Structure formats: structure tokens, C-alpha cells
Structure 1
Amino acid sequence: MTTTPSAQAALQPDTGEIPASVYLSAALPNILWGRLPCAADTAVLTVAPGTEVTIDTISHEGILDDQGRDPVAFFAGHGVARDGVLDDAVAVAASTGLRDPAVDGPHVVTGPIAVEGAEPGDVLTMTLVTATPRVPYGVISNRHGRGALAGEYPQAEGNVSTFAAVASREDGTLVGTLPRIPGGPRTVTFPLHPFLGIMGVAVAGGERPHSVPPGAHGGNIDINLLVEGASLHLPVQVPGALAYVGDPHFAQGDGEVALTAMEASLRVTVRFDLIKRADAVAAFGEIAGPLAETAEYLVPTGLDEDLDEAVQNCVRAAIDLLHARYGMDRTLAYAYLSAATDFDISQVVDLVKGVHARIRKEDFDV
């Protein structure tokens, strides 16, 4: 197997293919940096249910203060020319007043987007229709006090930001690549599966949540099953839902143990569907938090600062889902989950830990 660097040019704002008829750039008026929308925020776009929107997202890696807050210089250090750095990322890094690094999170989110007719108690379904890399590289970071092995890694004084290039295999498949193993001829490669780490709806009240911990609003859930074709169902908290996306990834392993995965900017197309409360309860029961869905799986989630509690919350959500959707006795559902369902760690690095279950839909086909 051989790989060659991807020759993809940077997908700059307002250029290249825009699949949907509605486009939302990541220009400064359309983004938040380090915080998520709340009820007090004004939508930057309003759409009817069923609308597909092409949205530009910006990765926070390369623009943060501990990386120099200068993506042109940061990526130049990895051999990226100026025209290979996104103009909107440069604008965010150069902005003032958008983010206080002492109290705000790192993530850039695009939105909020209002969905006509959405009311608290309804469910908003966000489906990732397309996910296109905007650059042929990404960054995987480990910072002191963060990650599964905080206190052990990083092993040196400074933070570690590992540059990961995109390459193409002989069959045209795109892969991520890491630096060559010292003293060896091999380059480590791994499959890409682009997805959004952040998909969410606004919280009630007038205070914007920190961008790091996920919650009932969705946010930074980091579920790597949410690739093209997958959906996330979220309980609406405010009129209009005020949805948003961000934290784009090219790849992530369950757990995301170092702190970040292969973080890199995406242009995505998302469809926004609205399920009114009565229909949502019939399909899923009372959804208390994020519920993902793929062609193969129903994916209930559990969240908590304690991983044991997160697992328990996920099991409870799975039992409730099986009872509501299929009329399954709860004791029988518990037995089924133990025999047939995988419970995966979504991430352990976002203050609130995440677990998700993969319930096979075909098991319930009759």
C-alpha cells in the first residue's frame, strides 16, 4: 500500500461546491466562539422544517492562544502555504471580544438557525447529508490537565499538537497520516470518517453554556457514528430551536482519549426536520437528551461527570426507548440490551463523559 499527500485546495468561504440552495458561511456575524446559543440569542438564519442548509464550520485547532492565535504562522510551521489556510479561520483568530480564554471553551460554532414552528417539547432532527473536508490536514492535541491521562501526558512541558495530513491510497481512499515512526520506514495511516462533534439546540434562559460539556441540548457530544446519513434527535428547549453545528472532525476513536481527535474544518449540509411532540413521544418516548440514529442503529446516550453514572443513564435511556418504540417490557428490554447491544464510550475528555448504545434496528423487524 502506498499513500500520496492529498492535493485538495482549501475550500474557502463562498467558493467551491455548495450542495444546498441555502448557504451559511462561518463569517464573524454567524459564529460564536467558546459558548453555545441560549434563548436570548437571535437567529442568523430561519428555515422551514425539511430545509437543507450548507454550512461552513471552522476547527479550533490552529487558532487557539496556546498555538499562537495565528493560523497562518501555525500551519506554515507544518509546510502549509498561506492559500492553504482558511480565510474565515484567520478572521476568527484575529477577532477581539469573541472569546475570553480564561472562561470560554475552545470551539467555534456556526449558528444559531431557527426552525419555523419549533416549540419546547418538540424534537428537532438534524441529519448530516454531506460532510466535505475544507483542508487536507488536521490537528490532534493533548493539553496539560486534559485527556484521559491528565498528569501523565503531555510528557514535556508544553502542549502537544500533532499535525495529521490527509493522503490518498492507491484506490483513491482518503486517510489520515501521522509522522513516520522514528527510525522506521512506515507512516501510520487511519481511515477518515468526517462528522460534527457539536450538533445542538439552544438552552432556555439568558446564559450561554460553555462549549465543552455536552448536555440535554446536545452540544459537544462527540459521537463518531454521526457521519453522512446519520441523524441526531434533540428535545427543543426554546421557540425556533436555535440549532448550531461545530467542532468538525475528520476522524475520532471512541473515547477521544488524548483530548482532541483529528480536528479539521468541514463544509457540511444538514437537513433540519421537526417532529411535533405527540409524534416524537410515539416514536421515541420522552427524550431527555440526545438520541442519534443511523441506517443500522438507534443510538441512545448517557451523560454524566462520572463514567459509571453515564453508563447507567445510557442503559435507562435505552430501556425507555425500547419500551416506547416497540412496547417492550422493561425487564425484557434490559435482558436484550445485555445480550445484544454494545455500549460505547463516546468521549471521556469533555468534563461531562458520554456513553452511547448501538441498538440494531433489524432485531425488531417483523
Structure 2
Amino acid sequence: MTESPDGTHDGTHATQPVLQPGAGPVRAAHYLPADPAAVFWGRLPCADDAPLLEVDPGSEVTVDTISHEGILEDQGSDPVAFFAAHGVPVDAVLRDAIELTATRRRDPATDGPHVVTGPIAVRGARVGDLLAITVLETLPRVPYGVISNRHGRGALPGEMPRGESNVSIFSPVDADGGSAALPRTAGAERDVHFPLAPFLGIMGVAAAGHERPHSVPPGAYGGNIDIKLLTEGSTLYLPVQVEGALAYLGDPHFAQGDGEVALTALEASLRATVRFDVVPASDPLAEFARVHGPFVETADYLVPTGLDQDLREAMKKAVRAAIALLHARYGMDAEHAYAYLSAASDFDVSQVVDLVCGVHARIRKADFS
């Protein structure tokens, strides 16, 4: 273990397995590793990009993802050294992350930080359809993660961080794998433990046109939507922008609070298994998504979204989307839908740190059963 800047100690004592490329459990018949030569770093796929894998609708695919935390320039661009400073042995650092920093560079002035695995073509997916991505399994690849706050970013730019340097806080996962810890700081009475709820912050389809989008702001194609409800069993519906959809995954999280106020949440690499399904353009939900953008379905909720640089406008868009979704799914008129939302649904801030803010509603499906 080594000392943190505040004089306290940190380190990892967890016994969770490390899922190196190609090693450990792979649930699906199709497996896509995070090949350092093929991943996107800071950009998202567009119509010009060739798929790394092509599958039929209904197929399950296991995908390795790499967290950007621990590999960025302000962390030394050397994951072995960065994590060694927190007591992590070299064999517990992911080899694909090590190779990525050794062989690739991004331009932080023009590119985002995120590492994205894909694209994956889904046969028969056409412009106007919906691609449904259902999360079946999210396995931590390492027993630790990082939460960062950088100057000019987060919910309190200019106030946090308080010092001259960016702040990256190392968080080990408990031995049972069910929670993470923030080791106590000087003056604190105890460590802080919080539950894990792994999900992928980036799930998307390729953008139309010839330009690869920046990886930070989300859009109609999905991307960095950072909705923490997208845990195992949840489905993200995305309006297809190009033939084959060209889906991708990235920005893995172990946990996140709504808002993600510091800039990142508990970022850490995952091995995710997802299923791809196609909803035809003739379905009312496809028409809804073409107008209002991505939406989520969980076991308990329908989750429409609103995206805008202005948080207030994002809220308005989320409300409009919720009214339209209640009409598309249940046939409610606008007046009754608006009243129901006011009385019975919560609107949560997905995140305020990705240039484009996100708001999502939680509409209880049980209310319509």
C-alpha cells in the first residue's frame, strides 16, 4: 500500500478474479475482446466504419470493455505505474489497457477520454428501426475502480478540485464483490462503503454521416448517456441511424449516483454480455424513438430521456418524451399523461457532466398492469 496525497493509506485487498483478454468466463457464443488496435479511443463509430463482428437479431455477444480511468494523460498514461501506486500488482492490471497506452495515443484537445469496443453489425437492422440492446451480464474485470474530478469539469467547475491538481480517488472492491470502499481520510471516523451496480455508460449505434462523434456528449444515437438503470436485465432502445446499426459498448461503471457530479463515477472495466434485437420501423415505439430519441425499459420502469446542453431544456424534453411514450405504449392522451406524470413519476438527472445534460423519467409499469 502507498500513501494518498492526504496522508492516508489505500490499496486493494479484494480476491475477485482479474478477467484478462480471452481468460475467464465468456457467456455468449460470440466474443469481442477490446483489441487495442481496433477499439475507438475518444470517438464513436460512424457510417463509414466497418464492423468487427456481424450477428443475427436475437444473438448474444460478450464484449470486453476498458475503463479510461488509470490510462489518461493526467494519470501518467501508464496503468501499471498508476495502479502500482495503489498497491495493485502488475498481474492485476489489464493487459489490453497496458497495450493500449503503449501503442495508441488520442488528442485530448479534440477527442474524448472513453475507450469503446465495436462496432457490431446486426443483420437486417435498417434506418428507421429500433435496435434493442438488453444487458444480460456485467462481470467486473478487476477488483478496483477510480473516481475522478478534473479542473473545469463536473458540477462545480471552479470550486472543485480545491487544489491545483486533478483528483483521482482509488476505490477497492470488497472481497465479497458486492460493495466498494472509499478509504477514510484524515479526520474521518470510518471508511465509506457503497453497493456496486455495474452498468455501461456508453451504449450506442453508429451515427449517420462521415464524421465520428466525440465520445463525451450523448445524442440520438445513444453514446454516453450514463443512465445507471441500465444494469442486468434492462434494455436500451436506440433509433438505427445506418444499415446494420453498428452497435458499440464502453465507459464501464461499477456504480454511479444520478448526476455523476464529480465528473466520473466509480469507473472500472467490465465484461458485458448483451443481446441485440430489432424492432421494426412500423412499431409505434420506433416512431416514438425517431422523434424523441433513446429510451430504456427495466423490469419495473419505462424510462424516456431528454438531452440538451441546458438542464432545464433537457427536463422539458424528458417530459415531452414521457407524454409521447405513454401515448405510444398505452394510448394515453396528452392531458391524462401529463397529469399522471405529475402525480406518480419521478424525473431524475442522469448526469450534468457530459456537455449535453441528461434527464430521465421513471414510469412504473405496474401502474398500467
TM-score range, shorter chain: over 0.9
Partner of 1:356 in structure 2? Answer: 360
When residues 212 and 311 of structure 1 are mapped into structure 2, their CA distance, relative to the original with a 3 A threshold, is: same
Q: Distance in 2 between matches of 1:79 and 1:42?
A: 40
When residues 157 and 88 of structure 1 are mapped into structure 2, their CA distance, relative to the original with a 3 A threshold, is: same
Q: 1:139-288 maps to which residues of 2 (within 5 A)?
A: 139-168=146-175, 172=176, 174-281=178-285, 286-288=290-292
For the pair 1:60 / 2:68, whether they are aligned, the reply is yes
When residues 282 and 289 of structure 1 are mapped into structure 2, their CA distance, relative to the original with a 3 A threshold, is: closer
The residue type paired with residue 237 of structure 2 is H
Do the aligned residues in 1 keep the contact of 2:285 with 2:325 (CA within 8 Å)?
A: no
Q: CA deviation at 1:280?
A: 4.8
Q: Deviations over 1:247-269 (max 9, x none)?
A: 00000000000000000000000
Q: Distance in 1 between matches of 2:301 and 2:62?
A: 25
Q: Which runs of 4+ in 1 moved over 6 A?
A: none
Do the aligned residues in 1 keep the contact of 2:284 with 2:328 (CA within 8 Å)?
A: no
When residues 285 and 139 of structure 1 are mapped into structure 2, their CA distance, relative to the original with a 3 A threshold, is: closer
Of all paired residues, the percent bearing the same amino acid is 67
When residues 324 and 256 of structure 1 are mapped into structure 2, their CA distance, relative to the original with a 3 A threshold, is: same
Q: TM-score, normalised on structure 1? A: 0.95
Do the aligned residues in 2 keep the contact of 1:282 with 1:325 (CA within 8 Å)?
A: no
Tell me which of 332, 345, 366 is aligned to 2:336: 332
SS of equivalent to 2:282: helix
Q: Deviations over 1:153-205 (max 9, x none)?
A: 0001010000000014xxx4611100113244511000000000000000100
Q: Distance in 1 between matches of 2:38 and 2:298?
A: 29
Q: Deviations over 1:28-82 (max 9, x none)?
A: 2431000000001000110000000000000000000111000000000000000
Q: Distance in 2 between matches of 1:285 and 1:226?
A: 17
SS of equivalent to 2:174: strand
Partner of 2:127 in structure 1? Answer: 120
Partner of 1:40 in structure 2? Answer: 48
Partner of 2:302 in structure 1? Answer: 298
The residue type paired with residue 197 of structure 2 is H
Q: Distance in 2 between matches of 1:161 and 1:334?
A: 42
Q: Distance in 2 between matches of 1:283 and 1:51?
A: 24
Q: Distance in 2 between matches of 1:107 and 1:339?
A: 38
Partner of 1:91 in structure 2? Answer: 99
Partner of 1:10 in structure 2? Answer: 18
Q: 1:62-81 maps to which residues of 2 (within 5 A)?
A: 62-81=70-89
Structure 2 unaligned segments of length 5 or more: list them. Answer: 1-11
When residues 36 and 226 of structure 1 are mapped into structure 2, their CA distance, relative to the original with a 3 A threshold, is: same
Q: Distance in 1 between matches of 2:36 and 2:56?
A: 24
Q: Deviations over 1:298-326 (max 9, x none)?
A: 00000000000000000000000111111
Partner of 2:138 in structure 1? Answer: 131
Q: Distance in 2 between matches of 1:173 and 1:342?
A: 30
Do the aligned residues in 2 keep the contact of 1:140 with 1:163 (CA within 8 Å)?
A: yes
Partner of 1:111 in structure 2? Answer: 118
When residues 354 and 325 of structure 1 are mapped into structure 2, their CA distance, relative to the original with a 3 A threshold, is: same
Partner of 2:293 in structure 1? Answer: 289
SS of equivalent to 1:254: coil
Q: Distance in 1 between matches of 2:134 and 2:315?
A: 25
Partner of 2:4 in structure 1? Answer: none
Q: Distance in 1 between matches of 2:284 and 2:24?
A: 37
Q: Deviations over 1:321-365 (max 9, x none)?
A: 111111101011000000000000000000000000000001111
Q: Report the count of equivalent residues.
A: 358
Give the stretch that moved more between structures: 181-190 or 44-53. 181-190
Q: Distance in 1 between matches of 2:256 and 2:220?
A: 22
Q: Distance in 2 between matches of 1:259 and 1:304?
A: 17
Q: CA deviation at 1:93?
A: 1.1
The residue type paired with residue 216 of structure 1 is A
The residue type paired with residue 27 of structure 2 is P
When residues 205 and 299 of structure 1 are mapped into structure 2, their CA distance, relative to the original with a 3 A threshold, is: same
Q: TM-score, normalised on structure 2? A: 0.95
Q: Distance in 2 between matches of 1:280 and 1:73?
A: 52
